[in-house]
Structure 1
């Protein structure tokens, strides 16, 4: 890849983004298609998001991804919200169109891509989400579209779970959303759930254990941890009980591919991005959550 005066610019806006694998995936995609584009990390501290976003059109960026902790603020600062960004009130992809910032959210598409890659079917079934933040909102929207019968949202702060329910209650009346406290009592609902998704930074390690009875994940149920790059203690304990387990790598790849298409107008080279992701994980070692 040679950078010159015609190189088109995109990147990722976030704070503390040393972990990000997005540059590896996107730059591999540009190389695979022979495109004179480059994807760079854009480290933006809290309080400086407005200036950073205003700078994108000024610097002739074609767009940017947005990650923690700026997704909600990016939604407020966008000139227009489209699709899932409007539904969720959060932006993970910005596209610069004639000097205007158009906000999108490709996380629900990313999670649907993960479900379909592994063959996890949730139509007519119960799903449990651990956590109620932006990642949980995206997963809830995705499984609603797949026809989930009921979604249990387990969170230590129940008010945040109620906010998630209020945000999504008008999306699909056929899916019921129930709120449960994330404790031993509330977690009993896992017994009836076909899919359990950990949408929190907690991985079940000592000092940040999840109050779950992993016996409730037995019998070939699905357990997904949105963190990527390996098997978390949550996934390991679920697998020991007979669950089918998956990390969040495929979600990351599919949401990145959707962002690529929004910027460029062409289909992403998915396999090149997937291989770049796997190689970057191998080099780094260890799990992260790019939410």
Structure 2
């Protein structure tokens, strides 16, 4: 923990609890990020990860009220399932149809989404601008929806969205409809089974974003793009997965000599900073946390 402060020195009867509810979630770096920030700023909060799936979600959300928690982050598979359990939705979360942050104001729970802005801010941090460009994205779950809609809102000119014909297919169609009706971006939906289309759309894309869970446990040896020739040097390849640090997709992109290859750490940091502000009213010490998160010293940051 930052500044070598003992847990017993900072947890007392006034400590305010914030959660993270998802499954699986023990790999998450969010507790490290938020608790280190609390210590750095002298804030009396504690952030804990809870393995909560769809079945446990209703009781877990009620616990936010019952325990007087300040709020919680929400991740897969709960980002859409949580919406009917909340009292209010931020306008952006309503458009996206997914929530990754809950704020509790005296028992009134409001849902927000910070994933999309976190994604765009992470590119900005790397001095990369995708406005006016073409984007290919796979996945139409909570994170994928937020990224796609935010990118279109912020000026991506063309978007090719790929998804398998699973439970999220209807959501993928909804995303494309929202983008085409509410932004200047032209979005098209493709079945991920159409590999010829996937290869073709990647060929002239400035950025490819994988917003699926492929690449993280238990699929850490999998990737949606296994052929390096599908990528070109001048593009950005962005995997929203950050554990493992180097995913199978990233390895393929590196083999292709792609200039800009990223995991989801930057997005995680920036979406976390937005949530931090919503809960505490304070700015997360982003530069300080970035040094810890991107450190190669395993004693400083634990997965």
TM-score in terms of structure 2 length:
0.86
Mean alpha-carbon deviation: is it higher for 239-248 or for 206-215? Answer: 206-215
How many angstroms apart in 2 are the aligned matches of 1:185 and 1:58? 52
- Aligned structure 1 segments of 4 or more residues deviating by more than 4 angstroms: 204-207, 283-287
The one-character-per-residue Cα deviations of 1:170-209 (angstroms, maximum 9, x if unpaired) are 331x101101222321111111101011112223989734
Q: Are the equivalent residues in 2 in contact too, given 1:153–1:179 (CA < 8 A)?
A: yes
1:275 is aligned to: 291
What is the distance in 1 between the residues matched to 2:103 and 2:156? Answer: 31
The 8 Å contact of residues 228 and 247 in structure 1, kept in 2 or not, is answered as: yes
1:249 alignment partner in structure 2: 265
CA distance in 2, matches of 1:220, 1:161: 27
In structure 1, the residue matched to 2:3 is: none
Report the CA distance between 1:123 and its aligned residue.
Answer: 1.4
Q: Counterpart of 1:190 in 2: which secondary structure?
A: helix
Q: How does 1:162-201 map to 2 (within 5 A)?
A: 162-172=173-183, 174-182=184-192, 183-187=194-198, 188-201=200-213
Q: CA deviation at 1:284?
A: 10
* Distance of aligned partners of 1:52 and 1:206 in 2 relative to their CA distance in 1, 3 Å threshold: closer
Q: Cα distance, 1:48 vs. partner? A: 2.4
Structure 2 residue aligned with 1:235 = 250
State the TM-score, normalized to the length of structure 1: 0.89
2:229 matched residue in structure 1:
215
SS in 1 for 2:12: coil
Q: 1:169 to 1:270 in 2, by over 3 A?
A: same
**Residues 1-291 of structure 1 correspond to what in structure 2 (within 5 A)?**
1=7, 2-157=10-165, 159-172=170-183, 174-182=184-192, 183-187=194-198, 188-203=200-215, 208-211=222-225, 213-229=227-243, 230-243=245-258, 244-278=260-294, 282=298
Instruction: Find the residue that maps to 2:181 and give its secondary structure.
Output: coil
Judge which range, 249-258 or 6-15, deviates more.
6-15
Higher RCO, Cα 8 Å, sep 6+: 1
Native 8 Å contact 1:24 1:276 kept in 2: no
State the secondary structure of the residue aligned to 1:61: coil
Q: Could you report, residue by residue, the CA deviation over 1:243-274 in whole angstroms, capped at 9, with x for unpaired residues?
A: 12111100000011110000011111112332
Farther off after superposition, 271-280 or 47-56: 271-280
| Residues 61-101 of structure 1: CA deviation (Å, up to 9, x unaligned) | 11111111111122121100013211111111110112100
Distance 2:69 2:220 in 1: 43
